[in-house]
Amino acid sequence: MSKRKALTWYQAWGIRLIAIVAALVVCAVITSLTTGLNPIEVYATMFAGAFGTTRRMWILGKEVAILLCISLALTPAFRMRFWNLGGEGQILIGALGTAACMIVLGDTLPNVILIPVSIIAAIGCGAVWALIPALCKAKWNTNETLFTLMMNYVATQLVAYYVIVWEVPKGSGKIGIINQSTEAGWLPVIAGNRYLLNILCVAIMTIGMYIYLTYSKHGYEISVVGESVATARYVGIKVGWTIIRTLMLSGAICGFTGYLLVAGTDHTLTTTLAGGQGFTAVMVAWLAKFNPLGMVLSSLLLIFLGRGAGEIATAFSLNQSFGDILTGVILFFIIGSEFFISYKLHFRGSGHKDKDVPETSPNSVTSGTSDGQDSENSKEKREDSANV
C-alpha cells in the first residue's frame, strides 16, 4: 500500500460514484429487509420527495443554501486543521442576537436600520462565540474539537433561557412567530419567492469564499498554518493571529446563517433551530475536500438524502429516523472510499494467492501486503456490519 500521487478529478469522482452506488444497493437491501418494500419504488419516492414539485424544489434550494452556508463558515477553520465542531452553537448564538434585535428594537426602528443592526448583531455574536476557543487555542493550545463541542451546549441552554424569557404567550415555552403583524426585521421577499434572497446571499458567499481561500494572502496563510505550524512561524506568519482571525470569520458566517434562519425563513427562535446541521456541515465540507465549489454538490447530496428519506418515511408510514440510517450508511461508504482515492493498493505476487498466510507470520512482514489484505477483507466486513 502506498500513497497515490494524485488522481485526476474524474477518477476520484468515479471512485466516489462507485461508493455511492454501492451504498445505495446496501440501503436498498436494508430497506427491503426491514420493511419488505420494493427498493426501486422507494428510490422513486425519494426523487419525488426531493424534486417532485416546484415548491419542493424551492424548499430543497433553501435547505441546500443553509447547509452550504454553514459548510462555508467551517471551511477556513478546517483548512487550518482547526476542527470547529461548534457550528451548531455559533448559529444559535447568531440567531439569538437576531431575535434579540427583532424583539427589542422591532417597534422602534424602521426596517432599513433594523435589518443591518440585526445582521451586525448576529455576525458579532457568532464571531465572539468562535473567538473564545480560538483565543485559548492560540494562547494555550487548548484542544479545540472538545472546546467547540462544549460551547454548543452552553449556547443551547442560553437560547433555552431566552426562549422562556421572551415566550409568547407566557407559559407556552416557545416564542412563536416574531413580529408577525408588523414583519419588522424580516428579510424582504424578492421576485415573489421568500427563499430566493437566502439562496442568492449564499451563492455570492460561495464564490467569495472560493476567491478568499484560493487567491488572497489570508487564504494562503491559512493553508500554510494547516500544513505546518512550524513552517508558518518560520516564514513569518503570525500563527496566533491567523487562528483568531480565521475563527472569527468562521463564527461570523455561522452567526450570519443564524440570521438567515431567523430573519429569512423561520421567523422564530428555538433550541433546535440549527437541527444538527452544524455537524452535517462538517461532513459536507470534508466530502468536498474543503473546496467551496465542491460543497455545492455535497450539500445537495446530503439534503437530497435527507428530504428523500423523509418522504419515504411519510409515504410508507415509517419512522422519520429511517432517513438518518440511510444517510449514515451512505456516509460510511463515502468515507471509506476516500481511502481508495488517497492510497493505492499493491498486492504481492499474484494477489489473492497469499491470502491464507496468517498476518502474524514472519513471511509477511512487508507492511504493504498485510495492510492491503486487511483493507480487502475489511471492505467485505464493512458491508456485513452495515447490513446488520
Partner 1 sequence: MFDIVAFIPRMVAQSIPLMLGSTGETITQKSGNLNLGIPGVMYVGAISGVIGSFLYEHSCGGSAEAMNPFLTIAIPLFCCLLGSFLMGLLYCILTVTLRANQNVTGLAMTTFGVGFGNFFGGSLIKLTGSDIPSIALSATSNAFRTTLPFASAAGTVGKLFFSYGFLAYAAIIISLAAAYVIRSTRVGLHLRAVGESPATADAAGINITKYKYVATILGCMIAGLGGLYYVMDYANGVWSNDAFGDRGWLAIALVIFTIWRPDIGILSSFLFGGLYILYLYIPTGVNLAVKELYKMLPYIVTIIVLIITSMRNKRENQPPASLGQSYFREER
- Residues engaged in binding partner 1 (CB under 8 A): 2-3, 34-35, 83, 85, 136, 140-143, 145-147, 149-151, 153-154, 157-158, 160-162, 164-165, 276, 279-280, 282-283, 286, 318-325, 327-329, 331-332, 335-336, 338-339, 342-343, 367, 371, 374-375, 378, 381-382, 385-386, 388
CB of 234 to partner 1, least distance (A): 21
Phi, psi of 3 (to 5 degrees): -80, 135
Instruction: Quote the CA–CA distance of 213 and 215 in Å, as a whole number.
Output: 6
Q: Name residue, grid cell 420527495.
A: 49
Nearest to 268 by CA among 380, 174, 374, 137: 174
CB of 282 to partner 1, least distance (A): 6
Residue type for 22, please? A
The alpha carbon of residue 255 and the mean position of all alpha carbons in its chain are separated, in whole angstroms, by 15
Report the residue number, 152 or 268, with the smaller CB distance to partner 1: 152
Report the residue number, 3 or 5, with the smaller CB distance to partner 1: 3
Report the residue number, 141 or 350, with the smaller CB distance to partner 1: 141
Report the residue number, 58 or 316, with the smaller CB distance to partner 1: 316
Task: Let me know how many helices (H) and strands (E) the chain has, helices first.
Answer: 14, 2
Q: Name residue, grid cell 443553509.
A: 66
* Whole-number CA gyration radius for the chain: 24
Residues contacting 142, CB < 8 A, separation 6+: 133, 136
Q: Are 195 and 119 in contact (CB under 8 A)?
A: no
Report the residue number, 38 or 367, with the smaller CB distance to partner 1: 367
| DSSP designation for 109 | S
CB of 333 to partner 1, least distance (A): 10
CB of 113 to partner 1, least distance (A): 29
CB of 317 to partner 1, least distance (A): 8
Listing DSSP states for 313-372 in one string gives: HHHTT--TTHHHHHHHHHHHHHHHHHHHHHEE---STTGGGGGGS-TTSGGG--HHHHHH
Go through 83-95 and write b for each residue having 16 or more CB atoms within 10 A of its CB, e for each that does not.
Answer: bbbbbbbbbbbbb
CB of 376 to partner 1, least distance (A): 10
Vertex 385 angle, CA 384 and 387, to 5°? 65
Report the residue number, 117 or 239, with the smaller CB distance to partner 1: 239
Instruction: Quote the CA–CA distance of 7 and 10 in Å, as a whole number.
Output: 8
Report the residue number, 194 or 382, with the smaller CB distance to partner 1: 382
Instruction: Quote the CA–CA distance of 99 and 167 in Å, as a whole number.
Output: 12
Report the residue number, 2 or 53, with the smaller CB distance to partner 1: 2
CB of 177 to partner 1, least distance (A): 20
CB of 348 to partner 1, least distance (A): 16
Other Cβ atoms closer than 10 A to 290: 19
CB of 111 to partner 1, least distance (A): 29
Report the residue number, 182 or 377, with the smaller CB distance to partner 1: 377
Instruction: Quote the CA–CA distance of 111 and 96 in Å, as a whole number.
Output: 18
